[in-house]
Amino acid sequence: MKTAEKLRTLAEKLQPQIDNAMDPNRLADTPRRQRIAQSMREEGRHLIRTQKALLRLADIHESGAVPEILQGFTTKKAVYEATFCSNRNEEEPSRKTPENIALWGLIGGKTEEEKRAEYLWKLEQEVKLLKIPGFFQTPPAVVERMLTWADLKPHHVVLEPSAGAGAIADVVRDKALQLDCCEINLTLQEYLREKGHRLVGEDFFEYRGGTRYHRILMNPPFEKLADIDHVFRAYESFLADEGRLVSVMSPSPFFHTTKKAEEFREWFDSVGGIMEPLPEGSFKPSGTGVNACLVRIDK
C-alpha cells in the first residue's frame, strides 16, 4: 500500500509540469516559437505517459499482484526513463527491453480524443503562420464587448459570416441554439470543422441559405471598404426581423468622402445604427495596430 500511495503522489505532482508543457495559450506565432512549443508538447506527452504508467503501477501494487517484470519500477526516474518513445512512433519505447515493453503495455496507445487534440493543435500552429490579407483574429476583449451588445439568448440562431479561426464562434457556440459559419480559406475551414463548428458556406457572397438569423456577429475584412459590403449583405439578406447585427468595422466608412462611404453613412443613420470606437491598440494582440470600431444595427 505504501508503494501504491507513493506512486500516486508522484503522478499527481507531475500535473503542473504537464499543464505548463501542454499550455494551449503559449505564444507560437513564429517558426522558432513553434519549434519551442512543439518541443514542449513532446515533453508534455512524455510526462503524460509517465503519469499514466505511475497510476497503473499504483493500481497493481494496491492489488498486491505485481508481476516480477514490473517490480523495478518504483521511482519516477525509472518510469520516466522507460517511457521515452521511439523517434518514429510515439506508441512504442525507444529502448525495447522486456521491462519497458511490459510497462508500455500498461499505458496503452493514444485515445481517439488525444489523437484529435494533437491534430487540432498542429492545425492551430499552421493557422498561426497563415498570411491571409486582412485576416486578424478578433481579440478576446473585443469578442466580450460584441457579446455584451449582442445580448444572446438560448433560442437564438446565429450567423458568423467570416468565421476565420473561430475567435468569435468559439465563444458564441455554447450561448445560442445554433451557430452557422461561413469561411472562404480552406485551412481555416478544416480548422473550424475540427473544432466542431457548423460550416454552411465558403464565400459569404455566394452563400444562398434561406435562414434568417436572430443575431449576426462578424469581423469582416476592411480592405477597400469591404466591411461595408459585408454589413450590407448580412443585414439585407440574412438578418431576421427584430434581429441584431454586431460587427467590427474600420473607422474609414464613417469619415471617408467616397460615394460608397457616404451612402453607407446615410443608410446606417436611416436604420438607427450605433457606432462605438474601440480603444486604440485593441487589435494589437492579433498583430496589428489598425484602429477599429463596433457597430450595432437592429432590424
Does 110 or 292 have the greater pLDDT score? Answer: 292
CB 218 within 8 A of CB 142: no
Joined together, the cell numbers standing for residue 170 give: 468559439
Joined together, the cell numbers standing for residue 245 give: 447585427
The pLDDT tens digits for 183-235 are: 998 989 988 998 899 999 999 999 998 899 999 999 998 888 999 999 999 99
Q: Of 128, 156, 175, which residue is a domain's last? A: 128
Which of 59-73, 222-236, 257-271, 281-295 has the lowest average pLDDT?
281-295
* C-alpha span between 60 and 68 (Å, rounded): 12
* Beta-strand relationship, 274-277 and 293-298: antiparallel
Percent of the chain with pLDDT over 90: 65
Count Cβ atoms below 10 Å from residue 194 Cβ, excluding itself: 16
Joined together, the cell numbers standing for residue 190 give: 478544416
In this structure, are 108 and 186 located in the same domain? no
Q: Half-sphere exposure of 69 toward its Cβ, with a 13 Å CA cutoff?
A: 11
Percent of the chain with pLDDT over 70: 97
Domain count, the chain: 2
Angle between helices 112-128 and 31-63 (to 10 degrees): 170
The pLDDT tens digits for 3-49 are: 999 999 999 999 999 999 888 777 666 778 778 878 888 898 899 99
Q: Half-sphere exposure of 208 toward its Cβ, with a 13 Å CA cutoff?
A: 1
End-to-end Cα distance, the chain: 68
CB 247 within 8 A of CB 274: no
User: What is the pLDDT at residue 27?
Assistant: 65
Q: Is the dihedral of CA 240, 244, 245, 251 positive or negative?
A: positive
The pLDDT tens digits for 243-273 are: 999 999 999 999 999 999 999 999 999 999 9
Assigned domain for 153 exists: yes
Does 187 or 89 have the greater pLDDT score? Answer: 187
In this structure, are 118 and 152 located in the same domain? no
In this structure, are 98 and 12 located in the same domain? yes
Q: What secondary structure does DSSP assign to 80-131, as a single string?
A: HHHTPBPSS-TTSBSS--HHHHHHHHHH-S--HHHHHHHHHHHHHHHHHT--
pLDDT at 160 > cutoff 70 = yes
pLDDT at 130 > cutoff 80 = no
Q: Of 95, 128, 161, which residue is a domain's last? A: 128
Assigned domain for 133 exists: no
Write the burial class of residue 220 (CB in 10 Å: 0-12 exposed, 13-18 middle, 19+ buried): buried
Q: What is the DSSP letter of 206?
A: G
In this structure, are 111 and 154 located in the same domain? no
Q: Of 105, 128, 151, which residue is a domain's last? A: 128
Write the burial class of residue 169 (CB in 10 Å: 0-12 exposed, 13-18 middle, 19+ buried): buried
User: What is the pLDDT at residue 28?
Assistant: 65
In this structure, are 224 and 96 located in the same domain? no
pLDDT at 131 > cutoff 80 = no
- CATH, residue 174: 3.40.50.150
* C-alpha span between 154 and 127 (Å, rounded): 30
Residue 289 domain boundaries? 140-298
In this structure, are 210 and 278 located in the same domain? yes
User: If residue 293 lies in a helix (H) or strand (E), which one and from where to where?
Assistant: strand 293-298
Please give the sequence-ordered ranges of beta strands (E in DSSP) within 161-292, or none if there are none.
Answer: 178-182, 198-201, 213-218, 239-249, 274-277
Among the listed residues 177, 137, 141, 182, the one whose alpha carbon sits nearest the alpha carbon of residue 159: 182
Assigned domain for 108 exists: yes
pLDDT at 123 > cutoff 80 = no
In this structure, are 156 and 205 located in the same domain? yes
User: What is the pLDDT at residue 147?
Assistant: 96
Assigned domain for 135 exists: no
* C-alpha span between 4 and 54 (Å, rounded): 9
In this structure, are 116 and 179 located in the same domain? no
* C-alpha span between 61 and 40 (Å, rounded): 31
User: What is the pLDDT at residue 237?
Assistant: 95
